[in-house]
Amino acid sequence: MFIDRVKIKIASGSGGDGVTAFRREKFVPRGGPSGGDGGKGGDVWMEADEGLNTLLHLRYNPEHKAERGRHGEGSNRHGKDSADVIIKVPVGTQVFDAESEELLFDFTEVGQRFLAAKGGKGGWGNQHFATSTNRAPKYHYTGRTGEEKELQLELKLIADVGLVGFPNAGKSTLISVISAAKPKIADYPFTTLEPNLGVVDLGEFKTFVVADIPGLIEGASEGAGLGDRFLRHVERTKLILHLVDVSSISGRDSNKDYEIINHELANYNQDLATRPQIVVATKLDALDEPERLEKLREAAEKDGKPFLEISAVTNRGTKELVNLVAQKLAEIAQEKAEREKVEIELNVKDADEF
């Protein structure tokens, strides 16, 4: 089961209390203070794990609490520090404060760690308070209380390419053909109820990751058909493959479908409107009105977007599509590298002038 939103409660451990104690020793007033300090409470950490791709494991385990530190003891014995608690999450997880909705951390790389709740410090024993004028203090500090928080976790899939389109546009069929992913495929709308990831092998150890986003409908950016939740997974993609069914089987207008999806992308996040996009006409094997294909081609070319026609069922055009995607991703990577190079040069120049 793919779960991309959960709410959890976390609590770090409180620090152990210091202790008031005295040792028996000749010529030392009242034996001398020997109260040890309390141990530190356990921290609660979150860590990105490449072996996870859903938040399901947290849906059924929503509470995470670290142990408190052990109390100090006599003879200057320090209380034992408590072990930390580590919560594993998939890469792409965003951590929000459930009450203020503030973004606390965004996991974008494997191995990243975030200190979600810091354990309380242990209290001081009475040995810390001994002075030349107060050689037998009879007081100590208690440990500091740990932190308690309620967090909202949201997962945004990290993929190179996102497949978008109306339900039954052929997204699941395409990802099953170009990758090893095996999504459910059927001839009714909303077959895909959760995003699927597939890795496309280009050979020579080169790959790219494709995300099959569940079908979108008009009003998706405002929550219709859970579209706002599905659109979240498109935000991290570098390239959008916009699949449009040009057959007449669906009974819909292909060009209108194309316009609606683009409107929903822009309405959800304006940045998606400028994201590189390839328009893909699907189901050529069922094309019975060639003018539908030509009208869509004209609309895509008018918008300055690359256009391809495919039939995933017969494999027509799929190889050309994969090659075009690889080319576009390489261009995007090159542009990003050039931008970063310019930024570094500007920063160096500013530093030299300063």
Residue 190 has pLDDT above 60, yes or no: no
pLDDT confidence of residue 330: 92
Q: Are 121 and 189 in the same domain?
A: no
Q: Which of 21-25, 138-142, 198-202, 242-246 is the least confident region? A: 21-25
Q: Are 149 and 189 in the same domain?
A: no
pLDDT confidence of residue 193: 62
Q: Mean pLDDT score of the chain, rounded to an integer?
A: 88
Greatest extent of the chain over all pairs of C-alpha atoms, in Å: 106
Quick check: is 346 in a domain?
A: no
**Model confidence at 228, in pLDDT bands (50, 70, 90)?**
low
Q: Which of 143-152, 170-179, 204-213, 294-303 is the least confident region? A: 204-213
What's the average model confidence in pLDDT over 282-291? 90
Quick check: is 344 in a domain?
A: no
Q: Are 150 and 221 in the same domain?
A: no
Q: Which of 111-125, 185-199, 234-248 is the least confident region? A: 185-199
Residue 223 has pLDDT above 60, yes or no: no
pLDDT confidence of residue 79: 94
Q: Are 217 and 302 in the same domain?
A: yes
Determine contact, residues 152/82, Cβ cutoff 8 Å. no
Q: Are 80 and 144 in the same domain?
A: yes
Quick check: is 131 in a domain?
A: yes
**Model confidence at 36, in pLDDT bands (50, 70, 90)?**
very high
Q: Are 280 and 134 in the same domain?
A: no
Q: Are 202 and 331 in the same domain?
A: yes
Q: What CA–CA distance (Å, rounded) separates 195 from 190?
A: 12
C-beta atoms surrounding 152 within 10 Å: 17
pLDDT confidence of residue 88: 95
Distances (CA, A) of 334 to 37, 103, 201: 57, 30, 20
Question: pTM of the full predicted structure?
Answer: 0.71
Residue 295 has pLDDT above 80, yes or no: yes
Q: What CA–CA distance (Å, rounded) separates 246 from 281?
A: 6
pLDDT confidence of residue 188: 52
Going by C-alpha positions, the residue among 161, 166, 120, 127 that lies closest to residue 143 is: 120
* Domain CATH code at residue 148: 2.70.210.12
Give phi and psi for 288, each to the nearest 5.
-120, -5
Which residue in this structure is represented by tokens 């494997």? 110
Q: Which domain holds residue 95?
A: 5-155
Residue 261 has pLDDT above 80, yes or no: yes
When computed from its CA atoms, the radius of gyration of the chain, rounded to whole angstroms, is: 29
pLDDT confidence of residue 47: 96
Residue count of the chain:
354
Quick check: is 354 in a domain?
A: no
Q: Are 203 and 311 in the same domain?
A: yes
Quick check: is 243 in a domain?
A: yes
pLDDT confidence of residue 224: 59
* Domain CATH code at residue 181: 3.40.50.300
Quick check: is 350 in a domain?
A: no
Quick check: is 54 in a domain?
A: yes
Q: Are 110 and 217 in the same domain?
A: no
Quick check: is 348 in a domain?
A: no
Give phi and psi for 255, each to the nearest 5.
-65, -35
Identify residue 132 by its one-letter amino acid code. S
pLDDT confidence of residue 23: 82
Determine contact, residues 147/118, Cβ cutoff 8 Å. yes
| Domain boundary, last residue among 133, 155, 177 | 155
Instruction: Domain count for the chain, please give it.
Output: 2
**Model confidence at 233, in pLDDT bands (50, 70, 90)?**
confident
Determine contact, residues 163/235, Cβ cutoff 8 Å. no
What's the average model confidence in pLDDT over 159-183? 87
Q: Are 219 and 263 in the same domain?
A: yes
For the beta sheet containing 113-117, the strands, ordered from the edge strand earlier in sequence to the opposite edge, are 85-89, 44-48, 113-117
| Domain boundary, last residue among 155, 183, 205 | 155
pLDDT confidence of residue 315: 92
What's the average model confidence in pLDDT over 197-213? 86
Q: Are 199 and 320 in the same domain?
A: yes
Q: Are 192 and 312 in the same domain?
A: yes
Q: Which of 25-29, 241-245, 277-281, 319-323 is the least confident region? A: 25-29
What's the average model confidence in pLDDT over 218-233? 65
| Domain boundary, last residue among 155, 170, 195 | 155
Determine contact, residues 76/20, Cβ cutoff 8 Å. no
Q: Tens digits of per-residue pLDDT, 94-143?
A: 999 999 999 999 999 999 999 999 999 999 999 989 888 888 899 999 99
Residue 325 has pLDDT above 70, yes or no: yes
